[in-house]
Amino acid sequence: MARARGEQPIRITTAGTSRNEEIAARQKRYIVSMSIRSVCFIGAVIAGLNHITWLWPILIAAAIVLPYVAVVAANAAHTKGDDFTLNDSPFGRPELRGGKGQH
């Protein structure tokens, strides 16, 4: 399979993680977020039973918002990039000025 003329090969420094690693990381973030949600819900029930009237609404609100946050965090794209430019890049090369006697 031939590459398009302007297409650059993927360098190892900018290659993303494998699909399996990416899915595993997303699942882990989602499980952590949903575990925090469960703790908030259980805490809200305990706070309500102990008549801590200021705490349980906060925990219920957190338990309601966290599924959205968990889905967004789990699906967030994590791409790898580099902070340097290549010497052979037309965008990163300094322009050479004329030598002696040339202005």
Tell me the whole-structure pTM to 2 decimals. 0.56
**8 domain-assigned:** no
In angstroms, the CA 93 to CA 75 distance is 36
Amino acid at 83: D
H helix count then E strand count, the chain: 2, 0
**67 domain-assigned:** yes
**97 domain-assigned:** no
Q: Region 68-83: what's the mean pLDDT?
A: 66
Q: Assess whether pLDDT exceeds 70 at residue 2.
A: no
Question: DSSP character for 25?
Answer: H
Number of structural domains (the chain) is 1
**43 domain-assigned:** yes
pLDDT (0 to 100) of residue 34: 86
Tens-place pLDDT, residues 25-63? 888 888 888 899 999 999 999 999 999 999 999 999 999
97 versus 58: the higher-pLDDT residue is 58
Residue span of the structural domain in which 62 resides: 33-75
pLDDT (0 to 100) of residue 90: 57
